[in-house]
Amino acid sequence: MYQYDEYDATLVRERVEQFRHQVDRRLTGRLTEDQFKPLRLMNGVYLQLHAYMLRVAIPYGVLSGKQMRTLGHIARRYDRNYGHFTTRQNIQYNWPALVDIPDILGQLADVEMHAIQTSGNCIRNVTSDPYAGAAADEIEDPRPWCEIIRQWSTFHPEFSFLPRKFKIAVTGAAEDRAAIRAHDIGLKVVKNDAGETGFAVFPGGGQGRTPRIAPLIREFLPVQELLAYLTAILRVYNLHGRRDNMYKARIKILVESLGADEFRRQVEEEYEKIAADGSLALPDEEIERIRGFFPPPPQAESAEPVQFSDDADFALWRKHNVRPHKVAGLKSVVISLKPIGGTPGDATSEQMEAVADLAEQYGFDEVRVTMEQNLILPHVREADLEAVWRALADIGFATPNAYTATDIVACPGLDYCSLANARSIPISQEISTRLDKSGLIEDVGDVTIKISGCINACGHHHIAHIGVLGVDKKGEEFYQITLGGSHSDDADIGSIVGKGLPGEDVPAAIERILRAYLATRSDGERFLDTLRRVGEEPFKEAIYEAA
């Protein structure tokens, strides 16, 4: 993984000390809250319902064992022994005291981490395929490109005060596991007819109150031109993005209002100007230097088939939580942070430290955070799978439900978030518990359920097969159900099927949706395929049948 050079280290250290002084000035009245708020937000510090929240960047979701151990230590020393992994592959602490945050940032800097640009109208943490460098279907490892974008965008003076926040996602695989078309810019590594590597460019996607799937405006961008083209997109957005209305300020609104063709024309025009002097062209030697931080995955000591024990629980876990790897003899392991009835994405200090140990002992010192709020050990020898499974079971992290209906994504919701209209976590817990008891999980297979406590959609409900959106109706919580969203290659926005339900009715309604699917599907058909084939009517009837 990437190692800081002296510039990175200095920049992060200086930022810690700057923030320490800013906190001191706020506490002693030399900065007003209005003056301090944008400064704390630039360092990932929000004020939520009960306390401050610190959002720590995990660049493209990649952690070392040492970094994970530090995250666990911070949770124990400065928080309530927990951290919460988010849909943007970051971690949030829900209870840090403002007076402690400079010290927390100092400890993060010790392990080459920070909270810079995890808030504010700037280019946020770049997200990516959590199986980067390991996926069997990968065209090229996207992490070097993520790192190049991270370096380019960090403190970029031209793009530090954009009309609104800006999120970039990169995938290097055939299957989109990074939801690239639901981002401000999505990049997909592709090959052209000559076998050269480049990017397909999708700007103008996003969720929130106006969800949009990003259109393709460039089928093939040579890799050397990445920063020139990103700059062109950002310049067009910075110039024309609406600053008069924060609800219409994201790039998706600009792309839609101009139309994809006109937006493309303006970007290409700007790009031609930038490309003419070549100053933003990526030198091949710099690309190779960054690639050098991300060597090919390790080779397994043996690619011989492994004889696993006949433990049924282990077999079920392998079925759902062990994924194919590009190297024979290796697998990727999904660590489920979705215990049945638990809080999606939460991990205790002890759990984080145990995962750090496992990464170092069995995982070639790498951990990934996923947008599904799980963790991944990307490279594990098949021969070590049983030992990893047993160790995960010891810490409550071996729930065999990765990518199943109980692998539910949920934002913090009204239990923590000052923006939320309704609670998300209790609904996810009740759905998880009910579906687990229903015995349907194995049969329904590939279904995604995602819950947001408000229209900002941090829980990604728009791109869920079954989405749940919390709304406020005269002070009461109600939940709208959406159907048909997808974050993948068949990306789509789910549609609201009807009036909102009280929270206590939602788990049963979701079970009825799944039963309707089982009654309607053809052989081998996924939930989404059935929904697209028959339309939403049978599912709508199922949702409201008891009403």
Partner 1 sequence: MKMISSNKLTDGRVIFWTGAGWSADMKDGKVLEDDAADAELEAALKDEATEVVGPYLIAVDGHDPAGRERLRETIRLTGPTTGSTKYVHGIKPGTEA
* Contact footprint for partner 1 (CB under 8 A): 26-29, 32-33, 47-52, 80-82, 94-95, 97-99, 342-343, 346, 348, 414-416, 423, 425-426, 429, 474-477
Pick between residue 423 and residue 450 the one whose CB is nearest to partner 1.
Answer: 423
CB of 412 to partner 1, least distance (A): 8
Pick between residue 197 and residue 433 the one whose CB is nearest to partner 1.
Answer: 433
Pick between residue 84 and residue 320 the one whose CB is nearest to partner 1.
Answer: 84
Pick between residue 82 and residue 389 the one whose CB is nearest to partner 1.
Answer: 82
DSSP 113-124: -B-TTSSSSSB-
CB of 474 to partner 1, least distance (A): 6
CB of 501 to partner 1, least distance (A): 17
Pick between residue 355 and residue 542 the one whose CB is nearest to partner 1.
Answer: 355
Alpha-carbon span 140 to 414, nearest angstrom: 40
Alpha-carbon span 144 to 289, nearest angstrom: 9
Pick between residue 404 and residue 421 the one whose CB is nearest to partner 1.
Answer: 421
Q: Are strands 466-473 and 449-452 parallel, antiparallel or unpaired?
A: parallel
Pick between residue 428 and residue 486 the one whose CB is nearest to partner 1.
Answer: 428
Pick between residue 227 and residue 469 the one whose CB is nearest to partner 1.
Answer: 469
Residue 151, token pair as written in the block: 């370096």
Residue 178, token pair as written in the block: 């990074």
User: How many residues in the chain?
Assistant: 547
Residue 113, token pair as written in the block: 């981490």
Pick between residue 366 and residue 415 the one whose CB is nearest to partner 1.
Answer: 415
CB of 57 to partner 1, least distance (A): 21
CB of 433 to partner 1, least distance (A): 12
Pick between residue 337 and residue 369 the one whose CB is nearest to partner 1.
Answer: 337
CB of 519 to partner 1, least distance (A): 32
Give the CA distances from residue 142 to residues 7, 146, 335, 516, in Å, rounded to whole numbers and listed in that order.
Answer: 23, 6, 22, 39
Pick between residue 84 and residue 212 the one whose CB is nearest to partner 1.
Answer: 84
Pick between residue 97 and residue 518 the one whose CB is nearest to partner 1.
Answer: 97
CB of 414 to partner 1, least distance (A): 6
CB of 162 to partner 1, least distance (A): 25
If we measure between CA atoms, which residue out of 530, 335, 353 comes closest to residue 443?
Answer: 530
Pick between residue 424 and residue 486 the one whose CB is nearest to partner 1.
Answer: 424
Burial of residue 185 (number of CB atoms within 10 Å: 0-12, 13-18, 19+): buried
Helices 385-394 and 349-362 cross at an angle (nearest 10°) of: 170
Specify the 3-state DSSP secondary structure of 332: strand
Q: Is the dihedral of CA 132, 133, 136, 140 positive or negative?
A: positive
Q: Is the dihedral of CA 147, 152, 155, 159 positive or negative?
A: negative
Question: Strands (DSSP E) along 288-356, which ranges?
Answer: 322-323, 330-335, 346-348
Question: Residues near 474 by Cβ (< 8 Å), separated by ≥ 6?
Answer: none
CB of 22 to partner 1, least distance (A): 13
Q: Is 482 left (phi over 0), alpha (psi -120 to 50) or beta?
A: beta
CB of 451 to partner 1, least distance (A): 13
CA angle at 207 for the pair 203 and 213, rounded to the nearest 5°: 45
Residues 97-134 as b/e (b if ≥16 CB within 10 A, e otherwise) read ebebbbbbbebbbebbbbbbbbbbbbbbbbbbbbbbbb
Alpha-carbon span 41 to 386, nearest angstrom: 43
Alpha-carbon span 381 to 149, nearest angstrom: 31
Helices 143-153 and 226-240 cross at an angle (nearest 10°) of: 50
CB of 375 to partner 1, least distance (A): 16
Alpha-carbon span 39 to 43, nearest angstrom: 7
Pick between residue 343 and residue 406 the one whose CB is nearest to partner 1.
Answer: 343
Check: CB of residue 162 under 8 Å from CB of residue 251.
no
CB of 64 to partner 1, least distance (A): 24
Give the CA distances from residue 466 to residues 205, 418, 453, 478, 518, in Å, rounded to whole numbers and listed in that order.
Answer: 20, 25, 15, 16, 15
CB of 415 to partner 1, least distance (A): 4
CB of 425 to partner 1, least distance (A): 5
Question: Residues near 475 by Cβ (< 8 Å), separated by ≥ 6?
Answer: none
